[in-house]
Amino acid sequence: MSRPPIQKVTVIGAGLMGHGIAQVSAQTAGYDVSLVDVKQEFVDRGMAMIKDSLSRFVAKGFIDQAKADEVLSRIHPTLDLRGAVSSSQMVIEAATEDPKLKLDLYKRVSEFLPPGAILASNTSSISITLLASATKTPENVAGMHFFNPPQLMPLVEIIRGRKTSDSTVETVRAAAKKMDKETVLCKKDSPGFIVNRILMPSLTEATLLLEEGVADKEDIDKAVTMGLNWPMGPLKLLDYVGLDTALSIAKVITENLNDKRYKPSPLMEKMVKEGLLGRKSGRGFYDWPSPSARKS
């Protein structure tokens, strides 16, 4: 199937990842972007985070104010899922990492998609084949997994579901390239895909070291950054990812692979129950100031 060039993109979910995907789609790829969520406060918060990010790019001299204003003019916040989806050539889903929620969403979105439109999921671990099964056109569904923050991280994992067409994979790859991303292809729809399949046991082990009192959090992170040359320690990385998201990923991989290496630690479970989710909640393994405080 040959598809016309993508001009309009819809991003579903204005949260931690969604707002960044919307920004890079408008800023780097030059797409016209609808940013959709279920509540006005969520959309408003997402737009505030985009404005904050753009102001940082301006302050660092990466773009000028005119470019920032131009990017904002291409992003359209909305609560109208049908209107946004029905006018887009590509929909990128960045909703909460909950299989039931996503399946319900995919059934709804499938009703609104125009012919040939692609539905790409930013899921970190959930089966693309499963998500595609809730749609009328599973051949047009693929994984398009960005990394946090999408505005800066150069990689996109493309995941092929059981029925994903070659044309869909190539269109997603071309869109990622237009966003100035490098891509890797996960040829088999495996839980956790490539990066999280490798990463999650390390993150879990770091929380166990802390829980067992083997070392302090600062020394665990320092050991990994200096000893393994990671750009960020595992506990700080968990704060960036969000402990709730990491917990969901760990559970999905554990259940689907039946492998105890991916089982989340009791400490991670406890912190999520207490609302200590990391950077997005203000506290995790570390304390994180609000965006306004960070700018001051």
Any idea which residues carry the catalytic annotation? 124, 145, 157, 196
Find the angle CA(229)-CA(16)-CA(30) to the nearest 5 degrees: 95
CA distance 52 to 109: 30
**Amino acid identity of 166?**
D
- Rounded to an integer, what is the distance from CA 184 to the centroid of its chain? 16
Phi, psi angle pair for 150, to nearest 5°: -60, -25
106 touches 140 (CB < 8 A): no
Using a CB cutoff of 8 Å and minimum separation of 24, what contacts does 48-54 make?
48/291, 49/19, 49/20, 49/291, 50/19, 50/22, 50/23, 50/75, 52/291, 52/295, 53/20, 53/23, 53/149, 53/151, 54/23, 54/27
Label each residue of 155-222 as H, E or C.
EEEEEECCCCCHHHHHHHHHHHHHCCCEEEEECCCCCCCCHHHHHHHHHHHHHHHHHCCCCCHHHHHH
CA distance 253 to 197: 8
CA distance 90 to 5: 10
- Residues near 186 by beta carbon (within 8 Å), at least 6 away in sequence: 143, 157, 158, 159, 160, 193, 194
